[in-house]
Amino acid sequence: MNTAVILESTQLNAFNKSMNAYKEIYEQFVNDASFLWILRSIAIEQPHYDSESIAELEQRIDAQIDGLMTSIEDSWELCLDGL
Residue 78 to residues 30, 38, 59: CA-CA distances in angstroms?
Answer: 7, 18, 22
**What pLDDT was estimated at residue 13?**
53
For residues 30 and 83, the model is more confident at: 30
Helix (H, G, I), strand (E, B) or coil at 83: coil
Q: What is the pLDDT of residues 1-53, one digit of tens each?
A: 555 555 455 554 555 555 577 889 999 999 999 999 999 999 999 999 999 99
For residues 71 and 4, the model is more confident at: 71
**What pLDDT was estimated at residue 46?**
94
Check whether 77 has a pLDDT greater than 80: yes
Nearest to 65 by CA among 23, 24, 37: 37
- Region 55-76: mean pLDDT is 93
Residue 73 to residues 9, 19, 22, 36: CA-CA distances in angstroms?
Answer: 20, 11, 13, 22
